Amino acid sequence: MLEREQRILITRITTEHARALRKKFKRAVHHESARCVTIEKQPLRKRPGTIAVVCAGTSDLPVAEEAAVTAEIMGNHVERLSDVGVSGLHRLLGRLELIQSANVVVVVAGMEGALPSVVAGLVSRPVIAVPTSVGYGASFGGLAALLGMLNSCGTGVTVVNIDNGFGAGYAASQMNALVSGAGIT
Amino acid sequence: MLEREQRILITRITTEHARALRKKFKRAVHHESARCVTIEKQPLRKRPGTIAVVCAGTSDLPVAEEAAVTAEIMGNHVERLSDVGVSGLHRLLGRLELIQSANVVVVVAGMEGALPSVVAGLVSRPVIAVPTSVGYGASFGGLAALLGMLNSCGTGVTVVNIDNGFGAGYAASQMNALVSGAGIT
Amino acid sequence: MLEREQRILITRITTEHARALRKKFKRAVHHESARCVTIEKQPLRKRPGTIAVVCAGTSDLPVAEEAAVTAEIMGNHVERLSDVGVSGLHRLLGRLELIQSANVVVVVAGMEGALPSVVAGLVSRPVIAVPTSVGYGASFGGLAALLGMLNSCGTGVTVVNIDNGFGAGYAASQMNALVSGAGIT
Amino acid sequence: MLEREQRILITRITTEHARALRKKFKRAVHHESARCVTIEKQPLRKRPGTIAVVCAGTSDLPVAEEAAVTAEIMGNHVERLSDVGVSGLHRLLGRLELIQSANVVVVVAGMEGALPSVVAGLVSRPVIAVPTSVGYGASFGGLAALLGMLNSCGTGVTVVNIDNGFGAGYAASQMNALVSGAGIT
Amino acid sequence: MLEREQRILITRITTEHARALRKKFKRAVHHESARCVTIEKQPLRKRPGTIAVVCAGTSDLPVAEEAAVTAEIMGNHVERLSDVGVSGLHRLLGRLELIQSANVVVVVAGMEGALPSVVAGLVSRPVIAVPTSVGYGASFGGLAALLGMLNSCGTGVTVVNIDNGFGAGYAASQMNALVSGAGIT
Amino acid sequence: MLEREQRILITRITTEHARALRKKFKRAVHHESARCVTIEKQPLRKRPGTIAVVCAGTSDLPVAEEAAVTAEIMGNHVERLSDVGVSGLHRLLGRLELIQSANVVVVVAGMEGALPSVVAGLVSRPVIAVPTSVGYGASFGGLAALLGMLNSCGTGVTVVNIDNGFGAGYAASQMNALVSGAGIT
Amino acid sequence: MLEREQRILITRITTEHARALRKKFKRAVHHESARCVTIEKQPLRKRPGTIAVVCAGTSDLPVAEEAAVTAEIMGNHVERLSDVGVSGLHRLLGRLELIQSANVVVVVAGMEGALPSVVAGLVSRPVIAVPTSVGYGASFGGLAALLGMLNSCGTGVTVVNIDNGFGAGYAASQMNALVSGAGIT
Amino acid sequence: MLEREQRILITRITTEHARALRKKFKRAVHHESARCVTIEKQPLRKRPGTIAVVCAGTSDLPVAEEAAVTAEIMGNHVERLSDVGVSGLHRLLGRLELIQSANVVVVVAGMEGALPSVVAGLVSRPVIAVPTSVGYGASFGGLAALLGMLNSCGTGVTVVNIDNGFGAGYAASQMNALVSGAGIT
């Protein structure tokens, strides 16, 4: 497969499989918190502009990292903000400039999934919401966050499947590619 | 019934029934946006302290008003804030002092139900969340807002049934009554 | 309101309300199949590039039109394709060039919601999927289409709420605005 | 973290982690049935008044204890009643005075979640209902109890997420803090 | 049909149809609150022993009456108790003897459906629980009451479909028929 | 506990616990397929009349046996029929006399839960339906069987929780006790 | 459209529309209980062999008739059996020969949807199950029947959407066409 | 059992059990990817005509193989196509002739379950759709695929339970048997 492709992204990989791959392919890089391995013969040249990947805390981090790594291997600059939840608005507002300067914002959130609504009220660029299965009880494996995001009062928010960091990163890259007018590779 | 009771609250009343009651009982007051009628022989003396009733906009107003009228007839001062949604944070932050000065905050929201999480991050007093059936599609009659509130990352948020403004106003009054040490009447 | 704003979009309007508005505002335009009224003092200059709005047939048309009208009033050229369902692939394939030439593709579908997956396999640009409440029985008011789209095997598909043509048109415009580097107005 | 904070509460901890913490921090206390560890440099002075934590039996005990330990570390006196279910009313009625003397009542119940309705009919103070995931079959992981509590005919009952003893204890403390007029710490 | 059968029970009938039937068949009796019409050539002789039909209030009455009328036309004495909810235990306890003297107890309840659990804790005879669609929001058309009853901690409670007063009355009659050893007619 | 009670039934016990109990209490009997242990100082005298416990095959057997053992320890004769499914009507019809001679019939079924409807059409005595979690895919842990039974076209069928063999056996005993006019012990 | 096609089937038509069509097209036939209109320039020659359409009673009849009319216009002989429910097995068994002689059996049922399982146990030919939305309460608009049929213990049962008589008739015709080796027209 | 039957199919078998069976019965064949074992004294003579079993990729393969092995042991020729998903239409179209030449087409798909709709638009023979539990998040264990297939816009598609390869293979064989006019064995 590696012969055919210039770069490969393997998601949801266990630490054991990652180690085996790294033994076999010296170019393989293990992104631990993203639970991904990437193998690149030659990295893509980065597009101008950034994609911001925003989440509220450590439990949403693996999905956020999956989105970030996906966007990076597809040739995008990524800004990570991982401590900006709705119950601590000052941290969010303190980093507003960074978020507003991105071409596309990926917002990852579990529990009630409220963060994309708040972010969408603060930026004019596309916001992609990723619900995570973080939570318990009436979160029903991410359903609460998913429904929250689909009903977001923030106009223009689009949503991907629960825990689908890869899909969000891919879509964000498609959108960011519009800036330079180039197709996606 | 009016003979036995000092004051009566009728919720979810139609305009026609309200008119009929007002003809029959001259003390009857029709709270139109709350869809309630109250009849009080002698209003309760107001407790010290206020209950804030917060919502995002006109569609949540009937439920918010039901909560407010309930709290008022039970002897509480009520502050109404009806234009403070999560996608317009500046309006919310602009009225923060008013919200923070209340003993209890009732937050009414439909769609994704994110407002209680944001409010709970800004106050230290009890927050009662009321999901409304406002929305369409995947709001499933208020289920999305309900699940969002139950999974709120805002610590200490408690929740009542969908559209249950009465229950929220009643609970808020019970809590506010604790301040003066008196039981509920 | 019209005094403050340059252009207004009213969605989900009845024919009666539309007529009343047209009497009052001579600039008001009634988009019948979209169930919208637009009032523009001065239309926005169109951005370069197009947004394609694709659906399978007459029953999905109101939602597709809502998306199209939204994108148009926000300054985008829109291509409408309204007869391209998954059970008649030749019609879809016959218009492939048109779809592939768009910057963003909005795909509207009810019932099993399979069309976005097929379209996403044929284009490299962002695809926004809009489930509709068209169907009966186990469609559960659009839930089947919504779940289908969230689980799409077409990479990079993002989804909005059931029947939310407005949100899809708005998001598509945000994405298309990236091409010219301009913010959204 | 302990340097910054005066007291720490860790919930849903395993016995192994608890032991490790107790080795490291000699002030650490393991509340076994609550599955919590608390570390207090200096305990808070107790507020006047009590919070009652009521449940029906051994299977609901871990959640009830989580609520009780949370309320205690936040400076409240807690009365525990753990054998008072709806199918044995005499036990409940036999301890009625104790329940009625509390400022706030936390009621923890699984299965059909009927206990809060019964308790709310017997007290005039705030009742916080906590559904638990105790049950099988059509309890659907606590959903039956949750829905039961949201539909409680007992006026003024508010509800937290399934198994969320911490949230209930926190909210109860916020309410009890109203009595002494102090904010929550 | 009347020629073949000795007695007929028509449930869920409108007032108009009931009137039409009464005009046509002079033996027809309209049970208004039960929304039933019965036509009996010759009433069955009553079995010894009684069936108690218990509910909490006026909104559950039509379903309770349907159960009562069904049991009566099948030859049973019926005791009706219609004001005994879980949030007013004293009324329930005040009529305990009547309930305990019945061979079978039908308990009708909407909202959280807690009454059967309480009643089952007080009697040793079969308890048939009937959930009603009374409620709003998270009652989901009687689902909350249904789940509550299926998860009842009251041992031996059996459940029928939502609003199925007829089925409960029929089953109660089958059970009461066991006392006299006779089959059901 | 054994000191206080004349007989004890422990359900859902593992083989290991059962062995431990049998070592400790020589009267303990392990009902393996029912996953129960019973300990009786002195068995109850059997009531006249029988309870039939009917199921379709080996996978429903544990729940059926739990019902049977429960009914037996409560003093009832039990007839077991465990090979009578709806897709093999001749076996069911071949044992019809046995089923029809019982005072109460407990019918245990998973998958589509159709057996109680068929049985109820063939007998005039009370039928208690027990859904089991047997099945996969769209059986949703017994939900399909539960809904099937609640919607049974067989009049007079009452239902207990998924896998609740104990509840069914208990209710059946309460009903059978009506025959001899005695209360339940 | 009629010019292009040899025959047309319009389903779910109101009586008013049917009348209008019959005025306009003299060949139009209104199948009242099926709620369909057919217009045939020249009826198809009937295939050898029959399709049996089986249902339990009057409330399932419209869906059963829709299936039957669909199969007929597609060139099949149809046998209708409309009084054969699971709670009256003798009627079903009395007409067994007719059912067994069909090439394909369409079974239409609401409520618990048990009939296809019973029929599939009696025939060796393909059985197509059609759930109907007949029922109330926990039938959830046909969901109970749908789940029952999907979990049928009758091997080889396939299922169509709730109330989808047309789809069942169409599929039955496709299957019956296999007998004569001809494609479907 | 083997004495009575000419051939046996055991589905959902573990590798360990398969090995044990192969040791005991030398005729036993282990179909690894189908997770089945077959034991045939004398294979059935193959019917004329083929059944096509179509799926999108490796994750749906076990269910597709279960269908294929079932159809084979029942005496049918089976064509397997396992790389034809909706997001890669060219592969599907490239093998169209093979699919169109089959008497019956079994289509296996997880995630959004869109493949049967596309296939049904391309063939005129019966299409049996099998949803699989492949997916994550909002696939809800195959529910999304199941609902998608039930709502298929492809006319005449019938559906079996999630992961029910056996049922689909069995039904396909029943249909294919119609061609030769023979009953099923």
* Residue pLDDT tens, chain H, 185 long: 777 888 999 999 999 999 999 999 989 999 999 999 999 988 899 999 999 999 988 899 999 999 999 999 999 999 999 989 898 888 999 999 999 999 999 999 999 899 999 999 999 999 999 999 999 999 999 999 999 999 998 898 999 999 999 999 999 999 999 987 654 44
Angle E88-E93-E94 (CA atoms, 0-180°, nearest 5)? Answer: 100
Across E52-81, average pLDDT: 96
Residue of A50, A108, A174, A185 to mutate, testing the C interface (most C Cβ within 10 Å of its Cβ): A174
Q: Give the confidence band of G185 by pLDDT, cuts at 50, 70, 90.
A: very low
Q: Are residues D141 and A136, on separate chains, in Cβ contact within 8 Å?
A: no
Q: Are residues G163 and C136, on separate chains, in Cβ contact within 8 Å?
A: yes
Whether the Cβ atoms of residue F183 and residue F74 lie closer than 8 Å to each other: no
E164 Cβ contact list (under 8 Å, min separation 6): E63, E130, G136, G137
Residues of chain A with Cβ-Cβ distance to C174 below 8 Å are: 124-126, 156
Residues A63 and A80: their CA atoms lie apart, in Å, by 12
Residues of chain D with Cβ-Cβ distance to A138 below 8 Å are: 142-143, 146, 161-162
Residue B185: predicted pLDDT: 41
H138 Cβ contact list (under 8 Å, min separation 6): A142, A143, A146, A161, A162, C147, C150, C151, H144
D113 Cβ contact list (under 8 Å, min separation 6): D129, D131, D144, D145, D146, D147, D148, D149, E112, E114, E148
Q: In Å, how far is B151's CA from the nearest CA of chain C?
A: 20
Going from the C-alpha of F96 to that of each of F84, F93, F99, F123, the distances in angstroms are: 10, 5, 5, 9
Facing residue for D114 by CB, picked from E88, E135, E148: E148
Give the ipTM of the model, two decimals please: 0.93
Q: In Å, how far is A162's CA from the nearest CA of chain D?
A: 20
Shortest CA distance from E159: residue in chain G: G138
Quick check: G43 pLDDT over 70?
A: yes
Q: Are residues B175 and D178, on separate chains, in Cβ contact within 8 Å?
A: yes
> Amino acid identity, residue H128?
I
Q: Are residues H171 and G178, on separate chains, in Cβ contact within 8 Å?
A: no
- pLDDT exceeding 90 applies to what percent of chain D? 82
Phi-psi region of E52 (alpha: psi -120 to 50; beta: other; left: phi over 0): beta
Q: Are residues F158 and E155, on separate chains, in Cβ contact within 8 Å?
A: no
Q: Are residues G150 and F138, on separate chains, in Cβ contact within 8 Å?
A: yes
Residue F122: predicted pLDDT: 94
- Structure confidence by residue, pLDDT tens digits, G50-81: 999 999 888 999 999 999 999 999 999 999 99
Tokens of B131: 């999901």
Q: In Å, how far is G176's CA from the nearest CA of chain E?
A: 39
Which chains form contacts with chain B, at 3 or more CB pairs under 8 Å?
A: A, C, D, E
Tokens of D137: 């079959």
Residues of chain A with Cβ-Cβ distance to C104 below 8 Å are: 178
Tokens of C177: 């605005």
Over the Cα atoms of chain B, what is R_g? 16
Across G118-133, average pLDDT: 96
Residue ranges of chain F with pLDDT lower than 50?
183-185
Residue D181: predicted pLDDT: 65
Residues H107 and H101: their CA atoms lie apart, in Å, by 15
Quick check: G44 pLDDT over 70?
A: yes
Burial of F98: CB neighbours in 10 Å, binned 0-12, 13-18, 19+: middle
Quick check: E2 pLDDT over 80?
A: no
Q: In Å, how far is H50's CA from the nearest CA of chain C?
A: 23
Which chains form contacts with chain D, at 3 or more CB pairs under 8 Å?
A: A, B, E, F
D95 Cβ contact list (under 8 Å, min separation 6): D81, D84
Q: Are residues C146 and B136, on separate chains, in Cβ contact within 8 Å?
A: no
Backbone angles phi, psi at C143, to 5 degrees: -60, -40
Across E8-33, average pLDDT: 93
- Structure confidence by residue, pLDDT tens digits, A52-96: 999 988 899 999 999 999 999 999 999 999 989 898 888 999 999
> Amino acid identity, residue F75?
G
Residues of chain H with Cβ-Cβ distance to F139 below 8 Å are: 161
Residue B181: predicted pLDDT: 66
Q: Count chain A–chain B contacts defined by CB atoms under 8 A.
A: 119
Q: Is chain A touching chain F, with at least 3 CB–CB pairs below 8 Å?
A: no
Residues of chain H with Cβ-Cβ distance to C161 below 8 Å are: none
Residues E66 and G17: their CA atoms lie apart, in Å, by 39
Q: In Å, how far is B137's CA from the nearest CA of chain C?
A: 5
Average pLDDT, chain F: 93
Helix (H) or strand (E) holding A127, with range, is strand A127-131
Q: Are residues E175 and F178, on separate chains, in Cβ contact within 8 Å?
A: yes
Residue E185: predicted pLDDT: 42
Residue C76: predicted pLDDT: 97
Whether the Cβ atoms of residue E64 and residue E116 lie closer than 8 Å to each other: no
Q: Are residues H141 and F137, on separate chains, in Cβ contact within 8 Å?
A: yes
User: By a Cβ cutoff of 8 Å, what residues of chain B touch chain E?
Assistant: 131, 133, 141-143, 146, 161-164
Across A145-158, average pLDDT: 94
- Structure confidence by residue, pLDDT tens digits, D52-95: 999 988 899 999 999 999 999 999 999 999 989 898 888 999 99
Quick check: A5 pLDDT over 90?
A: no
Across E60-64, average pLDDT: 97
Q: Are residues A126 and C175, on separate chains, in Cβ contact within 8 Å?
A: yes
Residue C165: predicted pLDDT: 97
Mean pLDDT by 10 residues, chain B (185 residues): 84 93 92 94 91 93 97 97 89 94 97 94 96 94 96 93 97 94 49
> Amino acid identity, residue A117?
S
Angle between helical axes of H165-179 and H61-73 (0-180°, round to 10): 40
Residues E164 and E172: their CA atoms lie apart, in Å, by 12
Q: Is chain G touching chain A, with at least 3 CB–CB pairs below 8 Å?
A: no
- Structure confidence by residue, pLDDT tens digits, E44-54: 999 999 999 99
Residue D42: predicted pLDDT: 86
Across C124-135, average pLDDT: 96
Tokens of D110: 């699984």
Q: Give the confidence band of G184 by pLDDT, cuts at 50, 70, 90.
A: very low
Residues of chain C with Cβ-Cβ distance to B137 below 8 Å are: 131, 133, 141-142, 146, 161-164
Residues G39 and G28: their CA atoms lie apart, in Å, by 4
Burial of C142: CB neighbours in 10 Å, binned 0-12, 13-18, 19+: buried
Average pLDDT, chain E: 93
Phi-psi region of E49 (alpha: psi -120 to 50; beta: other; left: phi over 0): left
Quick check: G30 pLDDT over 70?
A: yes
Task: Report pTM.
Answer: 0.94
DSSP state of G154: S
Of residues G106, G123, G118, G81, the one with CA closest to residue G159: G106
Quick check: G139 pLDDT over 60?
A: yes
Residue D166: predicted pLDDT: 97
